[in-house]
Structure 1
């Protein structure tokens, strides 16, 4: 199964933190919705899912398989709860999906990256600088790095730039 990590980054490379006073850019949200519809699913952390849900209802994600990865939540109406990244991927594979979109929460992203479960990354770089932010990590404990191959680069409008990279899962080097 092909796994695609989707994230919005700030212009200075942080994992973009959004909230009521700093909402995500519409162009980035539209890009995410298009990718989710194309693959028919997305995997998200519980806190990010709760933030996405807002006032309830399926919104633009009606008919899309949503998997929430949470060690604490037992049941969330309308979605599947998985305890781990592997369990989430196994569920989507069982449902017949060829690709999985990993969409939210730095902890979820870092968990998939750290376990070497990502084939592609999509970064939408927002035109903002953020003083304190979270980072996407492939390994918290070493100076490992992976080579990636640029597959696509395009402006989405509103100053947002879309970057898509392939990751070679076998290529891992420590420095």
Structure 2
């Protein structure tokens, strides 16, 4: 199964922090929805999922398999809850999906990356700079430097640029 990590980052590389004063760009949200529809699923952390529910965007994905990774919550109505990234992938693999979309948040992304469970990265770079925010991390015990291959790049509009990379697992 191919795993794709999808994220929106700032121009200086932090996770884009959205709020009511600084909502996410519609182009990035539309791109996520398109990737989720294509995959038929997405994996999300509990706090990010709760944020989606609070914003009302959870209903946009009612026909999809949503897998929430949580160490503390065991059940959420309408979604599958698992305890680890590997459990999430096993669930989707058993359902026959060829692709899993990993959608957020930062802790979940870093868990997948540190375990070597990501094949491709899709980053939407928002036209903002932020002095706060979280970063993507890789396992510094295994990797000091990790090669990626550029698969594609494009403008999504409103200054949002998307880059799509494949991770080289041979190194």
TM-score by length of 1: 0.93
Paired position in structure 1 for 2:43:
43
Deviation at 1:55, TM superposition (A): 5.7
Q: Is 2:94 the counterpart of 1:94? A: yes
RMSD of the alignment, in Å? Answer: 1.4
Consecutive unaligned residues of structure 1, counting only runs of 5 or more, are none
What's the offset of the Cα at 1:43?
0.2
Matches of 1:145 and 1:68, distance apart in 2: 30
Alignment length, in residue pairs? 171
User: Could you say if the C-alpha distance between residues 144 and 29 of structure 1 is closer, same or farther in structure 2, counting changes exceeding 3 Å?
Assistant: same
1:153 aligned to 2:153? yes
Q: Distance in 2 between matches of 1:89 and 1:142?
A: 22
How does 1:1-150 map onto structure 2 within 5 Å? 1-54=1-54, 58-139=58-139, 144-150=144-150
Partner-residue secondary structure (3-state), 1:129: coil
In 2, Cα distance between the equivalents of 1:76 and 1:5? 23
- Determine if contact 2:18/2:24 at 8 Å carries over to the other structure: yes
1:15 counterpart SS class = coil
Mark the CA change 1:13 to 1:57 in structure 2 (over 3 Å): closer, same or farther.
Answer: closer
> Measured at CA, do residues 16 and 28 of structure 1 come closer, stay the same or move farther in structure 2, by a change above 3 Å?
same
The offset of 1:165, in angstroms, is 0.3
Distance 1:50 1:17 in 2: 15
Runs (4+) off by over 3 Å = 55-58, 140-143
